[in-house]
Structure 1
């Protein structure tokens, strides 16, 4: 019996190596995270896509502010979905991982050939044995077990064949909310430096110069962005024996906000944002000292950013709470921050 099984295994392996067709069984797992400004519209668009393509959902679950979809797609259907994704909202992440099932398919073919050879051998033995003997019944039951194994293996093989060039898609659609109880604050540690140029609209003799420039320490501590600045402006044309404020020492706190319709700041280049800075400024001159509180609304553009570096520019309108007419004006800023 052992010699017979050894011969069957060797014969099956040789037949498999020489006769196995060269096919590929590659599937792709796609995991997509979308931040949608309108959850209801995103659901409608996804359901219309699934219905029009006769796609059956494998899994769907709705949470507070999030909906999860799992479904299979052909390669052509995947290309359609890829084009539709930006319409659902901001694509926060898209991960594709390929799975090659060729080894599993090869093992199934090898085992099928072996079981078929074994089944044929058992069938030949059954013809030579009395059908009323115990040995006959034992071999018959063994052959039925082999047939069941063959059936299960063929079913598994069909499953693998159906997954060739198949995309197993998981979509997580999150509702973009800005309410305080749902806004998550992500803290970071990004020190840096900033250069600023301030132009006063109506400079006043004895109080304000026409132009100031200065350097600041800028420390960002949340991804949103929240930051503090500390530094000083100097008059670009100081005059001796003048009461004009020639130095402006500034401490400020600010926040910048990304637009939900312009990528939410996730791009590497050219993220547009708006923000504000509030703070305190101590102005000093030859004979004058002034305490000034201010607010500066601003619009900015991130030139480049990655996980470790941020190069940023912005323009703002400096509005002091006192000496408003004599001190207000435009400032232009450029900054560089890095992860520490």
Structure 2
């Protein structure tokens, strides 16, 4: 891991909602609460992993931070400046330091543009004064960094595999020399063997360029490999935050424990004997979230207080917090007791 420096991204009480209009003569407008009052800081040079089930708000959070989706409330303070207060011109300049890698490498590339045009596109906005020769030189340089040969510069996206297409997306993301990159499920659409190559490439770029990464994924094995700290999201809220070791070795929230128990283990002997906690039911709708703790409808240790009071993030240690009325060792004790009594569904 590269040296971690000072804090330079501060997300404060960020919320993002979407309006959905129903069908019929008198359609009802519903509100999707995708991101709900999220706060955290990121230090320069670190990788923050953001994990959770599909639909928990991970991608919306990443896009809200970059103002690709406008937040409903809260602040994103980037190097001391609130991004929401920047003018269009100021935000355009700030985007030179802020970038994103998308989940689907093929869908994120314009099929009508050549590789060179795709990678150079951000430069046309960030550095319009560059000559054609200067842009091409920059493009060829980053192509080499991500493992693409310069002969590919005039080819089109459909001529590439998924892994190669993602390398093009990464080249486009780093062409303006950004300081922060949101990696939105960057390997989930790739074969397992290619995933490892892309993860290693991102780790290498982070080290050589001093990048800070927000790494969004539902794959806990990948998150464990690349992250310094981890946020666990459930229904738009942070339910656990801590260092990689704290979250993976001593999860303090029942949801985090269930996610980790479902993560694959490379050792077949251990995998065959391990028992997994099985969560019952599907996540609630973000249109109509439960009262109190959002996880209570699936939580094996929920009690009446969980339906009445939404728990705040409670310190488990100086760097570890969990949003549970029984956070930490108490949650672990209760979960083990439920498992022993057969009140928690187990698989394996």
- TM-score of Structure 1 vs Structure 2, range by shorter chain: under 0.3
Write 1 or 2 for the structure with the bigger share of helix: 2
Pair member with larger Rg: 1
Task: State TM-score, norm by structure 2.
Answer: 0.20
Write 1 or 2 for the structure with the bigger share of strand: 1
Task: State TM-score, norm by structure 1.
Answer: 0.20
